Amino acid sequence: MQEILRFMKIPGNSLYFLWHITALLYCFFISLPDTLGQDERPGGSSLIYINTSFPNASPLYWEDLGKDTFLLNLVYEHERNSPNRANGHWFFRVEAQPNAKLCLILNNFDNFWNGRRSFPISPRTPTYLSEDGLHWEAVPAELTADNQLRFSLSFKDHPIYVASVEPYRISQLEKLLQDIAGHPLVRIDTIGATVEGRPLEIVTLGEPSAPRSVFIRARAHGFEAGGNWVVEGLIRAFLRPEAAPFLEKYRLYILPMANKDAVARGRTRFNSAGVDLNRGWGAPADPAVAPENAALETWLAQRIRAGKQPDLAIDLHNDRGGKLHLSHPGEDHPDYLPEMKRLEEMLRKHTWFTEGTQGGSGFHNPGTFGEGLLLRYGIHALVYELNKERIAKFDRPPYGADWELLGQQLLTVFYHYFE
């Protein structure tokens, strides 16, 4: 109950929210039938269909447990040459009879990470609901003793979309790119293609004469939509007249959706050849199985040859911590950690960031984008994990608009970072 009360801080239509709270309590207290997965449906079911056929929807299969309770089994994906398996993304649309109440149980959160069991959910994990797929409301879910997530849906006369974070789809990126194409401060280059042939764009923004530059990669992991919202806010704000002072100081290079195949197919972490695009950065990428990283490396090498390598590089992710993941490279890069400390101070001053940095001086993240770019190219790079469960400063679950705001605020952070 404490969790539910803490959720009361979420913004939006409170009547709609109370409607879901009532339904959630109903779901908590409903008694499950003795026989799970049985074929007969005593009393019939109010569920019509669970639709996972649209872009970014997550693969799943479901079982009718009776009493309008359904077990939704998310489908694991597997990492190449590794025992690791993952899921943590859910996005589907539920159609039911008008005024129905359904209890849904999400299953299969037994991930393996670095060969060990891990869980992408916690007692604080929300789920997001929407009637139109555009306006979302975070509602609490119950973490069960079996590491399942249980919540309920209360229908009026519309289907309900359910998602793990506020979705950002390829179509939204395409709309953004369409809107900014042709702007005098914008250049869009296709640097390669994903395993499945989807184009990989790098957006260059600003004046070529600007002395400094920042590179940002988003969505290396398909289920981590937060980075795309940040990039959306950042790009649109950078092209407003108020951004004029920033243009004199720095340019932006942005790879907005590094793992498009996973986004399209509603998967969690790996690319379509089972590669984690935030690993393996200690050595050149194999273009046969990680063409996304190989294309980025080729582009980076061109920048470096032209004497225009980025001064700062940020890889945007989502996790349940919300921290900056820094490297600890030792004497080879003595100015890296002091610079990162300054960056953290600027983030605290000019954005809603308060979460801090991950680990102590011994913390290592071998093979990640942050460590790889620093050790191989000397670029001051880091991974920023946006908390997908809760923004500490606001003490509530995050929305796309919060991450867009962070993107706008980053412009001021970079301005002062380069002072």
Binding site for Zn ion (CB under 5 A): 221, 224, 317
Contact 387, 402 (CB under 8 A): no
Residue 357 contacts by C-beta under 8 Å, 6 or more apart in sequence? 323, 324, 325, 326, 340, 344
C-alpha span between 382 and 130 (Å, rounded): 34
Nearest to 314 by CA among 248, 219, 242: 219
Which C-beta is closer to Zn ion: that of 173 or that of 258? 258
Phi, psi of 291 (to 5 degrees): -60, -25
Which C-beta is closer to Zn ion: that of 206 or that of 227? 227
Residue 117 DSSP one-character state? E
Which C-beta is closer to Zn ion: that of 150 or that of 221? 221
Least CB distance to Zn ion at residue 120 (A): 11
Least CB distance to Zn ion at residue 44 (A): 42
Least CB distance to Zn ion at residue 151 (A): 24
Nearest to 33 by CA among 73, 72, 64: 64
* Tokens 């959706």 -> residue: 257
Least CB distance to Zn ion at residue 13 (A): 31
Least CB distance to Zn ion at residue 381 (A): 15
Cβ neighbours, 10 Å, residue 292: 30
C-alpha span between 151 and 144 (Å, rounded): 10
C-alpha span between 187 and 269 (Å, rounded): 29
Which C-beta is closer to Zn ion: that of 97 or that of 357? 357
Least CB distance to Zn ion at residue 339 (A): 23
Which C-beta is closer to Zn ion: that of 217 or that of 221? 221
Contact 84, 112 (CB under 8 A): yes
Which C-beta is closer to Zn ion: that of 59 or that of 321? 321
Strands 160-163 and 91-96: antiparallel
Least CB distance to Zn ion at residue 144 (A): 25
Which C-beta is closer to Zn ion: that of 20 or that of 221? 221
Least CB distance to Zn ion at residue 278 (A): 6
Strands 101-107 and 69-74: parallel
* Maximum alpha-carbon separation in the chain: 71
Distance, first Cα to last Cα, the chain: 48
Q: Which residue is nearest to Zn ion (CB)?
A: 317
Q: Which two tokens stand for residue 69?
A: 């309770």
Which C-beta is closer to Zn ion: that of 137 or that of 224? 224
